[in-house]
Copies of this chain bind each other. A is one copy, B any other.
Amino acid sequence: MRVSPGGRPATGYDIVLQAGVLRETAAFLTDRLPDCRAAVVVTDGNLRDLAAPLTDALRGVGVASALHVVEPGEKSKSLESLHGIYGTLLDLKADRRACVIAVGGGVVGDLAGFAAASYMRGVSLIQVPTSLLAMVDSSVGGKTGVNLPRGKNLVGAFHQPAGVLVDPDVLRTLPDREYHGGLAEVVKYGVISDAAFFGWLEENAGAILDRDPAVLVPLIARCCELKAAVVAADEFETTGVRATLNYGHTFAHAFENLAGYGVLSHGEAVSVGMTCAARLAVSRGMIPPDVLTRQTALLERFRLPIELPAAVEAPPDAVLAAMRSDKKNVAGALRLVLPVRLGEVRVFADVPEEQVTAALTP
């Protein structure tokens, strides 16, 4: 599958989706980046055994390499972790032809991606996403970045990878909660841009929950296609097209903020956020209640929450305040992505705040 950000074929790259492709990483690198002589493999402590063999394989093809392991979890997306990766690159005497290989979920991909974007003003990046969320979402599209103590993803760059290697085999060992969280973004693609895909998800929900390779490959491929099409239309998030990917996310970011990171997974927050967004669209008469009903049924089938856990304190005013500080907003106006039918969303900047708070509860 070929991705051309902003429609520029010169910066295009391949997504290779194939069982076992993780073990082909070194061959992919020498094929696509023949001048590369040094590569740092970034991963987290949970994935060390998966990632470690890559450094041997790289040395086998004449590429100096090192494994850089960060702590699992969001707190590794920091300027300090970034500094650590720069150090490993310098230890390898990595020059501008070097490559960073991110083996992990969204945290590792975002962190390693920004290291690649900024080391010597940009070196190559290969993404090897290991979580469903990273496969269908964060590894495609070129967004990279780290958090600051004052907020998430406040520092970063758009940096397209030289390639994305998706190995569905690695999903076998993904913890259930992470796998289900990834399905929230999968459901999102159906609602925002492909009603037929949404129907396919409903029909195959059982096999999807069973992680049947026969459904996983077409599932991931379709999500990557849908995301790549959006990215091609709006690489730098300037035309508004890319904003459609944010369906449910303005609510979700507020929920994650209020819950404290880690209490609610990103996918769980998105699931609740999409429920609020669809409910809001129903209340405004933009979609029939049936769309909300089908979305809710599918999310629940995928073991995802459709309301906040009782332990999360989220009074409407606090949710609104957190939503207002979302960085997707422009000049302080709340921008919401809402469905206008199953398979299509639009961005609205004129929703009265009372309607937003009313949509927080059934």
Interface, chain A (partner B; CB < 8 A): 35, 37, 79, 83, 86-87, 90, 93, 95-97, 117-122, 143-145, 148, 150-151, 153-158, 236-237, 325, 327, 329-331
Task: Give min CB distance, A276 to chain B, whole Å.
Answer: 23
A330 surroundings in chain B (CB, below 8 A): 35, 95-97
* A79 contacts B83, C-beta separation under 8 Å: yes
* A37 contacts B157, C-beta separation under 8 Å: no
Task: Give min CB distance, A99 to chain B, whole Å.
Answer: 13
* A156 contacts B121, C-beta separation under 8 Å: yes
Q: How far is the CA of A121 from the CA of B117 in the complex (A)?
A: 11
- The closest CB in chain B to the CB of A117 belongs to B157
Given A79-B79, A79-B83, A83-B79, answer yes or no on A119-B331 (Cβ-Cβ < 8 Å). no
* A156 contacts B79, C-beta separation under 8 Å: no
A37 surroundings in chain B (CB, below 8 A): 331
Task: Give min CB distance, A355 to chain B, whole Å.
Answer: 23
The 8 nearest A-B residue pairs measured at CB: A121-B156, A118-B155, A90-B150, A37-B331, A120-B327, A121-B157, A121-B158, A86-B148
A156 surroundings in chain B (CB, below 8 A): 118, 120-121
Copies per complex of this chain = 2
* A154 contacts B331, C-beta separation under 8 Å: no
Q: State the main secondary structure of chain A at its contact with B.
A: mixed
Task: Give min CB distance, A62 to chain B, whole Å.
Answer: 11
* A329 contacts B236, C-beta separation under 8 Å: no
Q: How far is the CA of A154 from the CA of B154 in the complex (A)?
A: 21
* A331 contacts B90, C-beta separation under 8 Å: no
Kindly list 18 other residue pairs between chains A and B, CB separation below 8 angstroms, not including A35-B330, A37-B331, A96-B327: A79-B79, A79-B83, A86-B154, A90-B148, A93-B325, A95-B327, A95-B329, A96-B237, A117-B157, A118-B118, A118-B156, A120-B153, A120-B156, A120-B327, A121-B144, A121-B153, A121-B158, A122-B158
